[in-house]
């Protein structure tokens, strides 16, 4: 089940950024300008659609979501 979350997050990020992070889960998405506020909103909407997690933008803390690894961790914690 957990691998599914990882694969889904990587797929969503690939769609949004054009980059494949499967080998680079610690890339900082904001420092490298791969995600901006618009991308963040799209990311959260996709996570909600595909994984059924509620992640309101109002509670979004960029520092907790700035790498693929952290996004996967957050989503897994929210799904429990």
Kindly report the pTM of this predicted structure: 0.91
Q: Give the span between the Cα atoms of 70 and 62, in whole angstroms.
A: 10
pLDDT at 2 over 70: no
User: Tens of pLDDT along 9-52?
Assistant: 999 999 999 999 999 999 999 999 999 999 999 999 999 999 99
Which residue ranges form the domains of the chain, and what is each CATH number? Answer: 2-79 (1.10.1200.10)
Task: Look at residue 80 in the predicted model and tell me its pLDDT.
Answer: 78
pLDDT at 78 over 80: yes
């Amino acid at each position: 089940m957990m691998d599914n979350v990882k694969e889904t997050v990587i797929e969503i990020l690939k769609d949004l950024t054009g980059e494949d992070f499967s080998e680079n889960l610690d890339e900082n998405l904001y420092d490298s300008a791969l995600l901006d506020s618009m991308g963040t909103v799209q990311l959260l909407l996709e996570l909600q659609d595909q994984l059924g997690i509620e992640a309101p933008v109002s509670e979004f803390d960029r520092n907790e979501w700035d790498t693929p690894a952290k996004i996967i961790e957050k989503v897994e914690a929210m799904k429990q």
